[in-house]
Amino acid sequence: MPLFVRRARLRPRDLVPDRYLTDGRRLFRVVSRFVNDDSVLVVIEDSLTLDAAAYAAVELVAMGLRPVRMPQMTELAGADAGRATRGSVASAASSG
């Protein structure tokens, strides 16, 4: 399943649990977020090693992390439909 990376700044909605962040090489999952006045502390988990660490939101920006967007279901359905159509045509051509 392809992942699309946006080159956008981190927004508050990107730092909620079960969202994903990347620096272009590694994938991180947001485990939890703590807000105290104007400061935001986010616990992220490295998806490869499962190590978790807490960072201030400004540190995540300084680390170059950006949100990962999963493709919409309509995009996936269109891609699957295209594959099924090509496969059906190929099987019909080989059987007839």
Check residue 38 and give its pLDDT: 84
The boundaries of the domain holding residue 77 are: 4-95
Total tally of structural domains belonging to the chain = 1
Check residue 9 and give its pLDDT: 75
Check residue 6 and give its pLDDT: 43
Residues of the chain with pLDDT under 70: 1-8, 72-96
* Cα 62 to Cα 10, 44, 53, 57, 81, distances in angstroms: 11, 15, 15, 9, 41
pTM as predicted: 0.64
